[in-house]
Structure 1
Amino acid sequence: MKDTQLIPIPSLCTHYQIEMSFFDGLSEYGLIEYISVEKTYCIHQDQIADIEKMIRLHQDLHLNFEGIDTVFNLLEKIDYLQSELKTTQNRLRRFEEN
């Protein structure tokens, strides 16, 4: 993993105007994963979209970490069910064509 793909947490705190404790809470709930680089905690750039969603859930809907975790678990289940539905629909089409 290249360092250019890592974003320091203090930079995110400044950019999003949010406390470091918010990121600590997300990490404690397993919602994000820190990477330590030269005594600075960083995250991989692939996590930015999810972090932005978490910030919006926290600021706009006033959800706590348990609520954010629940929402992300539900979104994951929805994605899985949509994938299963698509697979089932494709199988059904094959049977209908024969």
Structure 2
Amino acid sequence: MGTTFILVKEYCAQSTVDEGFIRSLYEEGLIKLTLQADEWYIHEEDLEALERFRQWHYDLHINVEGIDAMRHLIGKIRSMQTEIKLLKSRLRLHEEGW
């Protein structure tokens, strides 16, 4: 099964997003773009993240560097939440053993 691509120009026209913002996200490594026949395409798998980044940027006025920091911190929080669940489970097993 191949990757589906969305033309950057079409995405920007439909979502009223500046192409420069998309390019900045790509340059920061936050999304993947593919160049084919002199046209840039967004990977479909990045659309969910792109929509989140769009909201942060346009609704909350967060710049691309801030978006990268938030993405990193949210990833750490999710990892810590998973670890907390695991530790709670292990603690419960330990307490039941007493």
Q: Normalized against structure 1, the TM-score is what?
A: 0.88
Name the counterpart of 1:30.
29
Q: How far is 1:68 from its partner?
A: 0.8
Partner of 1:89: 88
1:7 aligned counterpart, secondary structure:
strand
Structure 2 residue 59 is the aligned partner of structure 1 residue 60: yes
In the alignment, what sits opposite 1:2?
2
**1:37 to partner: Cα distance:** 3.3
For structure 1, list consecutive stretches of 5 or more residues without a partner in the other structure: none
Return the offset for 1:59.
0.6
Q: Residue 40 of structure 1: CA displacement?
A: 2.4
Q: CA deviation at 1:80?
A: 0.6
Deviations 1:24-62 (A, max 9, x none): 100111111112334322222221111111111111111
TM superposition shift of 1:83: 0.7
Q: Which residue of 2 aligns with 1:72?
A: 71
Partner-residue secondary structure (3-state), 2:62: coil
Superposed counterparts of 1:5-16, under 5 Å: 5-16=4-15
> d(CA) in 2 for partners of 1:36 and 1:82?
38
Does residue 1:50 correspond to 2:49, yes or no?
yes
> Which sections of structure 2, spanning at least 5 residues, go unmatched?
none
Shift of 1:63: 0.9
Residue identity opposite 2:2 in structure 1? K
Range 78-87 or range 33-42, more displaced: 33-42
Q: Which amino acid aligns with 1:61?
A: L
